[in-house]
Structure 1
Amino acid sequence: MSDLLFSVFPNENFVDLGLYQYGWEQCAPAHSFGPAARNHYIFHYVISGTGTLLADDEHGNTTEWQVKSGQGFMLFPGQVNTYIADSKLPWEYTWVEFDGLRAREIVTTAGLSLNHPVYHASSKELRNQMMEEMLYLSHHPEESPFHLIGHLYLFLDYFMRSAATVHVKQNGSIRNFYIKEALSFIEQNFQNDISVEDISAFCGLNRSYFGKIFHDTIGRSPQEFLISYRMTKATELLKITSLSIADIGNAVGYPNQLHFSRAFKNVYGISPRNWRNENKLE
């Protein structure tokens, strides 16, 4: 059996949660990776052995963490980190790289952050089920994208439920309810002329309070999220349809083509037409 399995996910059309790469490795003694920064979330679960994580906290200060079997560690987008297997008892671990519109919410619900990147399970059974899903991904890269995304969702379900603290479960429930309501409203109405006021009113919340809890949970303002969601939907239509730029803009909530093109360029750095020319599926 090889001491390394590694696969890259071939499909980028998943918006809420996307899978990027995944694998398993029995590390050599003192094997290290970094310093480096990633574009997405990467979670490592340690099956056996021990090692050290060196990671920047929210203030940019490097903190050292010892991570052993039964624990795990999260690498955050844009964070500089290094991890090193022990020289005598090196890590065996499995990992999953993921991201998407719901990723920040999931990681936060699990209680992990730049200041607290180490995973501790409150349930051994759920922890083991999480590990099985990660290993399943590592061993079945040939399955269809929807099949693999299904197992990503199962992994994240076990990840959240095994790690979520009692504090998060008790005090986060009402806040999480409002955020889920807001996300559902955006998903169902993004193509309409909706505003942050409309979203907060739907949730029955004051706009400023709604904006605060949304940003704390999702990691961006409601307006930023709405624009990001619309633009992601626009890229799907640009890639897989022959609709005109004006029709696509209208389909994602921009009846004015000029406004749509300007917003798209602010996010992607190029016009919708040029983006389509570079990414259109034949």
Structure 2
Amino acid sequence: MVQVQMKFMTRGNIMQNLIFSIFPNQNFVDLGLFQFGWERCTPAHSFGPAARNHYLFHYILSGTGTLMADDSKGVTQTYSIKSMQGFMIFPNQITTYVADKQLPWEYVWLEFDGLRVKSLLDTIGLSLDKPVYHARNKSLREDMANEMLYISRHKDESPFHLIGHLYLFLDYLLRSAADEQLEHGSKLREFYIHEALTYIEHNFQNEITIEDIAGVCGLNRTYFGKIFKEALGKTPQEFLLNYRMLKAAELLKLTSLSIGDVGLAVGYANQMHFSRAFKNNYGISPREWRYQNHINNTVDSDEEHTQ
């Protein structure tokens, strides 16, 4: 775990000003943590303009500041954000944020990503056009902040321990911010999506079809495809392919299974079809990807014959 701590002097006392940590494990697919920290900013302290590869959430513990963020049309919008509010930065979004000159903010942040993050943020109502977090429940907001602070202060805990607290953070984020009417109105759709994701997670290694997934939900394929894409931003076909490729990459990185066996494990009986799908997704063959990413940086001797 990489951690940086910066300090400054005030009235003869040394006070910690910044905690910044990088999560050491990238093997979490559904929900992954990348970096996290806490900072008490100096007046007019700024960061950006910059773009992130993942979702980055800041919660303001005290003080105030300004967020400048590109909306869905690429137009820069300006938001004034104060304590007990927060803001979400989205992947590839250009942002700049600046602490107030008179009352600079203190915040805690988490950078994360995963297969289900977009659907959760859609439920809350956070988007490129609405990046500011407003809590509707004080108690849940405080629980959310405590989870963020816990993660930032416990960088030496195991990866599974920290991921568990990341799930708790997202639960409190969802329940503290979701509009009650929206929550009730989307309850049935959320149930369908949950059933579909559960079915995919348990059966991706089999030769399942989109009709199979829609059937589990009791829906026709057209309507199922519509609500699935609205919820996750991908068609069911795209999501299933992406899920299989993520699992394949995980197996290539962490195991010594042959390329053919990896393909079988993620639902491809034909090794050639698997290799083609993998290369279309990652730009390189499974064998080359393993050579570059395998945790032991070794490749099975039989792979030259199975690729």
Number of matched pairs = 282
Q: Within the alignment, does 1:209 sit opposite 2:223 as a pair?
A: yes
SS in structure 2 opposite 1:179?
A: helix
Q: Within the alignment, does 1:38 sit opposite 2:52 as a pair?
A: yes
Q: Which segments of structure 1 move beyond 2 Å, counting only runs of 4 or more?
A: none
Equivalence for 2:208: 194
Rounded to whole Å, the distance in 2 between the matches of 1:25 and 1:125 is 23
When Rg is computed on C-alpha atoms for both structures, the one with the higher figure is 2
Rounded to whole Å, the distance in 1 between the matches of 2:76 and 2:294 is 42
Deviations 1:57-78 (A, max 9, x none): 1111111111100000000011
The CA RMSD over aligned residues, in Å, is 0.9
Equivalence for 1:259: 273
Alignment of 1:110-189 (within 5 A): 110-189=124-203
TM-score computed with the length of structure 1 as normaliser: 0.98
Q: Within the alignment, does 1:219 sit opposite 2:233 as a pair?
A: yes
Equivalence for 2:253: 239
Q: Within the alignment, does 1:66 sit opposite 2:90 as a pair?
A: no
CA-CA distance at 1:241 after TM superposition: 1.3
Q: Which shifted more, 95-104 or 196-205?
A: 196-205
Rounded to whole Å, the distance in 1 between the matches of 2:226 and 2:25 is 33
Q: Within the alignment, does 1:10 sit opposite 2:24 as a pair?
A: yes
Amino acid at match of 2:269: P
Rounded to whole Å, the distance in 2 between the matches of 1:115 and 1:212 is 22
Rounded to whole Å, the distance in 2 between the matches of 1:223 and 1:2 is 49
Amino acid at match of 1:255: A
- Contiguous gaps of at least 5 residues in structure 1: none
Equivalence for 1:273: 287
CA-CA distance at 1:40 after TM superposition: 0.4
TM-score computed with the length of structure 2 as normaliser: 0.90
Amino acid at match of 2:163: I
Rounded to whole Å, the distance in 1 between the matches of 2:168 and 2:18 is 23
CA-CA distance at 1:167 after TM superposition: 2.3
Considering Cα pairs closer than 8 Å and 6+ residues apart, tell me whether 1 or 2 has the greater RCO: 1
Alignment of 1:57-96 (within 5 A): 57-96=71-110
Rounded to whole Å, the distance in 1 between the matches of 2:32 and 2:18 is 23
SS in structure 2 opposite 1:3?
A: strand
SS in structure 2 opposite 1:142?
A: coil
Amino acid at match of 1:233: K
Amino acid at match of 1:65: Y
Amino acid at match of 2:58: H
